[in-house]
Structure 1
Amino acid sequence: MRQTWRWFGPKDLVSVDDMLQAGVQGVVTALHHVPTGQVWQPDQIADRQAQLAVMRDGAPSGLAWEVVESLPVSEDIKRQTGDWRAHVEAWKTSMRNLHAAGLRVICYNFMPILDWTRTDLVYRLPNGATCMRYDAIDFAAFDLFILQRRGAADDYAPQIAETARARLATMSDDRREQLTGNVVFGLPGAAERMTLDDVKDHLARYDDISPDRLRAHLVDFLAEVTPLAQELGMRLCCHPDDPPFPLLGLPRIMSTEADYRAVMDAVDLSANGITLCTGSLGARADNDLPGMMARLGDRVHFLHLRNVALEETHLGGSFHEAAHLEGNTDMVAMIAAILAEESRRRAQGRDDWQIPFRPDHGQDILDDQSRKAQPGYPAIGRLKGLAELRGIETALSHPLVAQRG
């Protein structure tokens, strides 16, 4: 297991020095400042590599950019509208430029509009730590009565709608504004503070796109880019929906094992693979994460290891981001399945036998709460998670355990 760390560039409040002291082996980053649909130029890629190669005092960090997350797929590609063909060609050119710079793994997602959805970004836990949370009733209140999305009433049982109405009545104006800001945080342009009319406009463009049609568009995209990735020796890995159930009337197509299997079978090349995110997929009680690793492991090119605590087991229920060993996913069983897959790959002589992973998200603890880094990406909370994951890997790999197992 290759220990990596997500970094958002020079503006990230968690620095190169911080991640180096966390003991990571490689860096996961992207050119977040380049507009979606434009080519990532060689000089821009080189600049990012140079930025993470040095510590604050100019000393070499010894760290390298190892995984791209994410090379974004435009909404035009997802909908097959506007300049989508030009955007595909730009994506392929960016892939060639990344290959020339030594990059081999590219994570992307095919979620319409939303990168992820939470109702709380600093939900307080009993021990004083804070985390991100999805409250199903708060979200329904936003959808039904703040956004007032057309057709929303058809998506909620009457009892849920009434509970959401009552919840909204208890919210102050500040909480309503905060809830809106939290939901649109995962929408394009959120930094420019999109209006509710902007959100409705984005949603309306998906009115006629069913899950089957969106899946067909993903297959068309992969049919274009995967052969080039295969030729270059690169690995593409699609991130699952977050959360993995329908929201705002948008289609969801990467939420289950069957979803991944269908897309891999449709473009059956080894370069067409998976980012197996235990946090996103773990927000469904019916997803068997260790089993998915065992059955789909041959095509798992990247791992996000985090945990969620399901507050309700039904699909679409509330959940919050748990500490890495405290949620609903059995992380010991998960890491055992990962190590088994790596062992198989070594026996096969695969160059990619070691799978990169990162401690995804984390609770804000200790000094994280004053640092106020990117939501979900604290320094100490992720360091704690990495230490726990590293400890499990070390224990399961130890000869004493191997002899007994």
Structure 2
Amino acid sequence: MITILEQPLFGQRVRELRTARGLSQAALAEPGMSTSYLSRLESGARPPTAKVVAYLAERLEVPRSAFDNGSSSAVTQLLARGISAADGRGGGEDILDLLNDAVEVGTEVDTALHWQMLWMLTMSFSPGTDTAHQEQTLTRLVRLSDEIGLPELQVRSRVKLARFQRLSGSPELGSGVAEEAVALAREPGVDAGDLGRALLTAVSAEAESGRLTLAREHVDELCSLIEAHAELPPSLAAEARWSAASVRVRQGEYEAARDHLEAAMRNLDSHDDLLLWTRLRIAAASLYLQMTPRLTDRAAAALAEAEVPIGLIGTPLHEQEFHVVTAQLAFYQGDFERAEELCVKLASEPSLLSYRDGVRLEMLRIRLRFQAGAVREAVNEMTALATRLQDSSNTDLTAEAWRNLAEALTAAAEQSTLPQAR
């Protein structure tokens, strides 16, 4: 007995078979079905009837078994076991093992179902998952999305791969994949949210790989998209403004960056996404401390709001980001002991920080050596750091390093001219 695929798998299978034969929706639907009805079938909005299955099988010149889900029963069981292992009784490795088994068993089943299995597998990845396995899985996900031919799946697969490449230290590769996602997301009928996420991913990868002109173009398009689509998730809008702020900072436009970040904080409620709400405040505090003059009061207020939630829901990475900015604030407020204490704490942990946060932590440690009286050594270290940043074309970080050096030398000079107590 044939058991027909349920929606949305049925619609994905119809589209897969239709596109493989080079047929438009109109060519497949006529004469016995309206194009709009076929479109709703392919989108998963309408359930198939036996008559519809028979008609489509005839038009596509395939047996009715082409729409059978019987071959996926073993896969479905493995998927169910893998998903339910996340209820607290099974460990992360158990989930990964079961999902990997489902992927291997599922290589001979429906392409769309195989894609879904790979997607579930990527959702179970954690920071400790083997990176080579992650890349292989994400590459397969992209390939299968191209076989299916649904632009939405092609975009989402590429966004995942591009993010992975950026975070694993290959922003140039991530930039190329993200630009493919942006091009696909601009096709008619693709949801604005998919275009927004593709642009967001492209901006991050382009900025990190030094392609600031392109990043600026994409971030401006992203902000326009957010303004034009009030229905988009508040978290996506907030991330868009955060990305815009990051690009402005790299181009030295600190006032514009502040405006974007403060708009993101105003428009995102903590109930929408508490972690993002918290991270925005850490980012804002960091920006306030980069500005001239440094806005220490605003930085302190932002960190005070972030302190409780970061301790409750923050990952080790988020905690490190919070401690870096807290240490910077302590230094600029004159609490050198607290700044040193936090630097020692961070040095005792495996660093999870981004390159830019790591550089700012290094600047702070050099400033503390200035404060401790090791002026000559600190001057040499800050000069070497600024030169290295300049050679790598990190213009904003270079300017920040030279500014720190100038401030430290001015403070040292003022200290040496103070009258000595008798």
TM-score (norm 1): 0.29
Of structures 1 and 2, the one scoring higher in RCO (CA 8 A, sep 6+) is 1
Q: Give the number of the structure whose residues are more often helix, by fraction.
A: 2
| Structure (1 or 2) with the larger CA radius of gyration | 2
TM-score (norm 2): 0.28
